[in-house]
Structure 1
Amino acid sequence: MPVDPLQFPDTGRLKLDQAIDVLLEHARTVRDTQERLRSLLRASHVVASHVDLSRVLRHVVDAAKDLVNARYAALGVLGPDGTVDEFVYSGLDDQRAARIGHPPHGQGILGLLITEPRPIRLTDLSTHPASAGFPPGHPPMRSFLGVPLLVRGQAFGNLYLADKQDEDEFSADDEQLLLSLAGFAAVAIDNAHLYEEAQRRAAWQRSSAEITAALLAGTETEDVLRLIAAKAHEVARADLAAVVLPVDGTGVLTVQAAAGEDDVAGLVGRRLDTENSLCELAMTGSQPLLSEDLSKDERGPLSDETWAGKAGPGMVAPLMAPDRPPTGVLVVANAPGRRGFHERDLEMLAAFASQAALAQQLAQHRTHSEELQLLEERDRIARDLHDHVIQEVFATGLSLSNLASAVDSGQRDRVLAVVHKLDQVVSEIRGTIFNLHAPMGAGGDAEHSLRRALSEIARTTTDSLGFTPVLRLDGPLDTLVPARLAVDLSAVVREALSNIARHAHATTATVQVSATPTTLTARVEDDGHGLGDTTRRSGLANLRARAEKHGGDLSIDSAPGQGTILNWTVPLPHGDPTAPGSSN
């Protein structure tokens, strides 16, 4: 029987078969390694292909799960306090995730990765001493691989993989691949952070520009404060934003405007005690403050009922223009248990608050400039009336007075009546001049002006009198008459006209109020029946009491059928601090 020349001895053939098997195994290992490297490159490409942070985190989790063939994967993002602030998962459907409830806070094995940021690879999770078990509804998990995710050397979060498919545990190669992916992910997350920060800075700048435009357009202050709160709530992605301003002359702060996810209308108008509060600390220190929990902050918690259930993690920034003291604070907060804020958030909020305060200051300067221009125009008109119009009318009156002596008696009375009317015109023009010179502050505005108050009294008594009383005002009433004396004077004029309407049966009435540097006089004259009964006389007791309260006097000149003249005279104080014009 012929012998096959290619037949090897049994021992030699066995060694050759073993060598071929080894080569094939190495080939398969090389092929698997190349495939996993290609998977790593694909995963890195997918992770780096987006700049939106939420999409980047989702791609990181999905890529990690596919890369090491895990059934479950998650990424826990750490908050400012070092606990899990955001949890992105893969491998669980929404229904099961809802049954589990809230995401983990970073306890057990997850907490160990936070406190000791280095890779952890376990065959069985339940056997580790740090294991805290699973909540109800959580799927069973056995093998585990976790690696820290560092961004610029700072802990950003951790990658968690569980249940290696088709094998009992994750390998060292899996660990190395996941560490490599974590490195790529860190760069992508850093880029996404920079992009998101740039976008948010742009949003803050747009909001600042919108507020500045609203202020310069003359928008009401309350509407601007509401806009500040709304923009802070929107751009900071917060649950609540409120503008808090101090109440003049008191030790309290008031919520002037608020915006939030829930109904925050009840916050507006609420008063807060400034003592030992973060708001007071931010104002006195002129520095923005970051808090992990506004309601429990040791520096001064916002713990009253105003913030109950609303103030968890938050920020407080002073509304402060450059080189100016704070005019209030801007409070931004999330509900208790929600995510916290970072230093970069505080920096952007502080810049926004400063820009808002600067815009308010510019608007105030613009308002003051417009008021100054108005005062200058009023002063010009007053000078023209005094230097030209009054002089012309006065000269005309003199000419008519001289003409009266050269005409017969019938014409003389008519001419003198015209002269008297010209005198009234001069008096009214002088009153207009004093109104134009009246300060635009507390003494001269529509609410506090004595001249306007007396004019309003004359107008409102027209119906009861049956005619319009003549009102003559002489002297700087809004400047010389103190506020408390102005109240009594208004009451005297109103009471005097009311008495005429009820008792005098008059057809004309004249009110003349004059002020000199030393004396205030009110003269009320009518052509009625006179003081013929005691009822009307007894009604004058209040007028006399008001005069005597200020060291003055009341005199009455009346005869039956010849009308009544009432003179109410009081001395004026010098430099009274409550005088409407004293601050000007």
Structure 2
Amino acid sequence: MTSVRRDAISPSTQSATSSQLPLARVLEALEAWQRDPTDDRRSAVADALDGIVEVAGARGAVLEVCAPPLPTLEVGVGTLSLLPPESARRGLASFPLGSHAGHGTLGRLFLDAPDGAAEPIARIIELAVDAAWSRAEVHGRAERLAALEEATRAVAAELDVDRVLQLIVDRVRTLVGARFAALGIADARGRIERFITSGISPEGRAAIAHVPRGEGLLGAIIRDGETIRSADIAADPRRYGFPANHPLMRSFLGAPVSVKGRSVGNLYLADKEAGEPFTEDDERLVEMFAVHAGIAIENARLHDLVQRLAVVEERERIGKDLHDGIIQSIYAVGLSLEDVPDLVEDEDGRTDAVARIDRAIDALNLVINDIRSYILRLRPALGGDEDPVEALARLGEEFGLHAVVDLEVDLSEGAEALRRLPPDRGTDLLFIAREALSNVARHAGATRAALVLAVDEGDLVLVVDDNGRGFDPAQVAGPDALGRHQGLSNMRDRAVGMGGTFAIERPDGPGTRIIVRVPASSDAASGDRRSPGTEDE
């Protein structure tokens, strides 16, 4: 220890040295100890304390600091450098070191000093410890805020819930200063089904007989939905015990992880560093991170639900497209070939039979192209890059070739409005027309039909009319178990999806009239109008 002669220092210099430089030295040494609590840093604190003691004329001192986030510290200098036992300290001057921030006692200073020298030394040390603690507290709070911000960003941006939860467990363990941390997610019975750990190696975790099952303290947190802080797990009546090869743990802090008021798991820490108990500040921090964990779990659940709904919607769309497109095309081919055997037997009809077979082959080639389109894009190429009016006219021509029905086609009034529609709406309208014409061919028993495109009050109107036997729409409540009547539902869904309406009318005479109205404007909102006067066909 460096010796300093008190008689070589003037009163003014001695005052400045004892109130400024020693204070700065002690503060600097304490801050270095807080950042890196090694033996070298402890020695630096002892040297700074020794400097104050020597300048002030004291013989020795013991400094005890117990004020998290400062690491626990006990150093002695001068006559007290060997850290006398508690019984030997009773005759020494003792000063509690308080905090101006209201934290309470930060530590204690014992002095072997002449009368009048002890109190100034105590005030200098108290100021240094208080300043070091305040700076450490501010730094710790900044770290906690940064960690919470990081967790919040991860919850908002990361859909991989395991990565988010691992980040939360790692960060809370580091901030609190615990040896172990874990997060368990429970199933509907309260049994832990997913377990995320921090502070234990993969090899150590693999050696454990089984992950916790939600008994003991962990089960109490899940069942009661309350935070538990225990200084000694072994002495807690709620303990259950550890599985084989599980690390021994003493202190415990656990908080429930809740989703919409229901406890779905727990976030817990064990064994705070240096053997210190967990504090109320630690408890609040763990509870905040547990809230973020609950948000992450709920976000993952909602994302999974959205994904599954998207799959269901895509399946429904594909089903509609298959039903309204490929199946109708194949059915039309079959319809055109039904009387080919009779034509072949008649020598005069063989030419017509050959022509029908050629057309059927061409139609099947188109069906093959549609199937390829499904494989490549999961969307049939009905119309494709073709002008939508020409595609609709071609549907009418195909209907005339395959069905024994006189079809009247009038597209002139609504042609330009159809061309102005977005491609996806034009395709939907073509699907509706194909399904409606197919129903005429298969079910109506009609001899005449009409396909009309018109404009009425800003709407594009598609009408498919026939003179067949007709039916009561109210008797068709929707697709049955065999998938029949799916086409009517598909047509209505497509019309409503375009912001339009779908209606089935029964004229005064025989037959059925299907009327589809969609906004002629390309920027009209979709899905905002219901089909008037119709049931779920």
TM-score (norm 1): 0.49
- CA drift of 1:328 comes to 0.7
SS in 1 for 2:20: helix
Query: In structure 1, what is the Cα distance between the partners aligned to 2:51 and 2:273?
Result: 36
CA deviations on 1:219-273 (whole Å, 9 max, x unpaired) are 3x54554444333333333211112222444x54356122215654137782445
Q: Which residue of 2 aligns with 1:68?
A: 53
Task: Give, in angstroms, the shift of residue 373 of structure 1.
Answer: 2.7
Task: Tell me the equivalent position of 2:125.
Answer: 182
Secondary structure of the residue aligned to 1:173 is coil
Q: Distance in 2 between matches of 1:215 and 1:68?
A: 56
Distance 1:227 1:184, change over 3 A: closer
Mapping 1:47-58, distance limit 5 Å: 47-48=26-27, 52=31, 54-55=33-34
1:77 aligns with 2:65: yes
After TM superposition, give the deviation of residue 29 of structure 1 in Å.
12
Query: Which of residues 59, 73, 77 is equivalent to 1:87?
Result: 73
Is this contact kept in 2: 1:47–1:60, CA < 8 A?
A: yes
Contact 1:52 1:196 (8 Å CA) reproduced:
no
**Which residue does the alignment assign to 1:451?**
none
**In 2 relative to 1, CA 202–154 (structure 1 residues): closer, same or farther, beyond 3 Å?**
same
Contact 2:19 2:124 in 1 (8 A): yes
Distance 1:253 1:194, change over 3 A: same
Q: Give SS of 2:299's match.
A: helix
3-state SS of paired residue (1:320): strand
Between the aligned residues of both structures, percent identity stands at 22
Secondary structure, in 3 states, of the residue corresponding to 2:116? Answer: helix
Residues 15-57 of structure 1: CA deviation (Å, up to 9, x unaligned): xxxxxxxxxxxx9799558614531222223445689473599
Q: Which runs of 5+ in 2 are unaligned?
A: 1-5, 36-40, 379-479, 483-537
The structure-2 alpha-carbon separation of the partners of 1:172 and 1:404, relative to structure 1 and needing over 3 Å to count, comes to farther
8 Å Cα contact 2:184/2:196 also seen in 1: yes
Is the CA contact 2:155–2:296 (under 8 Å) kept in the aligned structure 1? Answer: yes
Paired with 1:172 and 1:74, the residues of 2 have a C-alpha distance of 17
Say whether 1:317 aligns with 2:317.
no
Structure 2: which amino acid aligns with 1:155?
Answer: T
Residue type at the aligned position of 1:148: P
Contact 1:313 1:341 in 2 (8 A): yes
Q: 1:108 aligns with which of 67, 86, 102?
A: 86
Distance 2:116 2:273 in 1: 42
- The residue correspondences of 1:491-570 to structure 2 (distance < 5 A) are none
- RMSD of aligned residue pairs (Cα, Å): 4.5
Alignment of 1:433-472 (within 5 A): none
1:289 and 2:228 are equivalent in the alignment = yes
1:175-574 correspondence to structure 2 within 5 Å: 175-209=118-152, 211-212=154-155, 215-216=158-159, 219=160, 221-249=161-189, 252-253=191-192, 256-260=195-199, 264-266=204-206, 270-272=210-212, 274-275=214-215, 277-298=216-237, 300-301=238-239, 303-305=241-243, 309-321=247-259, 323-334=260-271, 338-408=275-345
**Shift, 1:348, TM fit:** 1.3
Shift of 1:316: 0.5
SS where residue 406 of structure 1 aligns?
Answer: helix
Distance 1:192 1:409, change over 3 A: farther
Verify the 8 A CA contact 2:177 2:272 in the aligned structure 1: no
Structure 1 residue matching 2:339: 3-state secondary structure: helix
Letter paired with 1:293: D
1:386 counterpart letter in structure 2 = H
Would you say 1:44 and 2:23 are equivalent positions? yes
AA in 2 matched with 1:157: G
**Shift of residue 302, structure 1, vs aligned partner:** 5.3
C-alpha contact 2:176 2:272 (8 A) present in aligned 1: no
**What residue in structure 2 maps to residue 148 of structure 1?**
96
Question: Partner of 2:254: helix, strand, or coil?
Answer: strand
The one-letter code sitting in structure 1 at the alignment partner of 2:33 is: S
Deviations 1:118-161 (A, max 9, x none): xxxxxxx3xx7x6xxxxxxxxxxxx9554221122612212345
User: CA separation of 1:51/1:89 partners in 2, compared to 1, >3 Å: closer, same or farther?
Assistant: closer
> Deviations along 1:429-477, whole A, 9 cap, x unmatched?
9xx9xxx9xxxxxxxxxxxxxxxxxxxxxxxxxxxxxxxxxxxxxxxxx
Contact 2:63–2:76 under 8 Å retained in 1: no
Distance 2:175 2:273 in 1: 19
User: C-alpha distance in 1, partners of 2:92/2:154?
Assistant: 52
1:157 maps to which residue? 107
